[in-house]
């Protein structure tokens, strides 16, 4: 191990849901709220499902698509929203713009605006992340292979998904750490960065990470 590279500090996290008070009962109201809603709310409605217990083979990966399908019964729009992958966008504002464009396109297509029942309104939730120390250190890159199977889903989320909005260049924490060793692990980083974490559960994501690490180190 390069002596001047510090060990990787493993952290855990959870997302705390905070009600914003904003809600929508039809598609126009959803568009209007999306124009000004806190970026943390968009983040929560796209990524929060990964850390919620009910995230088990969902029909739709984001809350907007699920609400449009089950409350407004607009299957066509739900499918368009469902294929939006937040990893395609460098920031939340670009993601917001994409969602708004899809909704506005649908509003232009339809002559009537469907309404949800009062008890099925869309409630905008904002996410606040709580970060925990695990006291776990990874000292050498090859130790990742041994440690990944033991990391909690919260740790996988924090270091591989949430890291993209925290690190320079929008990479996961594992690659940000590996870059400190110079070009030696450039190929491994390329393989890790090629993994799309959005359309899989955190348990499946952990298995994909493990598969890449096995292929590289073994």
Chain segment 27-48, per-residue pLDDT in tens: 999 999 999 999 999 999 999 9
Chain segment 49-63, per-residue pLDDT in tens: 998 865 444 688 999
Predicted local confidence at residue 58, as pLDDT? 65
Is residue 198 predicted with pLDDT exceeding 80?
Answer: yes
Among 27, 63, 23, smallest CA distance to 42 is for: 63
Chain segment 139-189, per-residue pLDDT in tens: 999 999 999 999 999 999 999 999 999 888 889 999 999 999 999 999 999
Predicted local confidence at residue 2, as pLDDT? 53
Q: Kindly state the average pLDDT of the residues 85-97.
A: 96
Give 107: exposed, middle or buried? Use CB within 10 Å, 0-12, 13-18, 19+: middle
Report how far residue 27's alpha carbon sits from residue 113's, in angstroms, rounded to the nearest whole number: 7
Q: Where are the domains of the chain?
A: 8-12+132-217, 15-126
């Amino acid at each position: 191990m390069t002596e001047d590279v510090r060990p990787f500090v493993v952290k855990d996290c959870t997302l705390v849901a905070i009600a914003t008070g904003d809600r929508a009962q039809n598609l126009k109201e959803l568009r209007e709220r999306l124009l000004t809603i806190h970026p943390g709310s968009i983040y929560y409605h796209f990524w929060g499902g990964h850390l919620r217990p009910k995230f088990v083979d969902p029909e739709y990966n984001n809350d907007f698509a699920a609400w449009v399908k089950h409350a407004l019964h607009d299957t066509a729009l739900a499918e368009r929203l469902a294929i939006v992958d937040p990893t395609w966008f460098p920031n939340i504002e670009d993601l917001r713009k994409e969602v708004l464009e899809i909704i506005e396109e649908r509003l232009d297509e339809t002559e009537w605006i469907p309404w949800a029942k009062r008890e099925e309104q869309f409630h905008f939730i904002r996410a606040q992340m709580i970060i925990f120390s695990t006291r776990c250190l990874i000292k050498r890159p090859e130790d990742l292979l041994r440690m990944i199977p033991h990391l909690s889903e919260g740790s996988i989320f924090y270091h591989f998904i949430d890291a993209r909005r925290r690190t320079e260049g929008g990479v996961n924490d594992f690659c940000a750490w590996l870059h400190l060793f110079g070009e030696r692990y450039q190929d491994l980083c390329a393989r890790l960065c090629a993994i799309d974490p959005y359309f899989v559960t955190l348990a499946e994501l952990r298995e994909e990470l493990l598969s890449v690490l096995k292929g590289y180190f073994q």
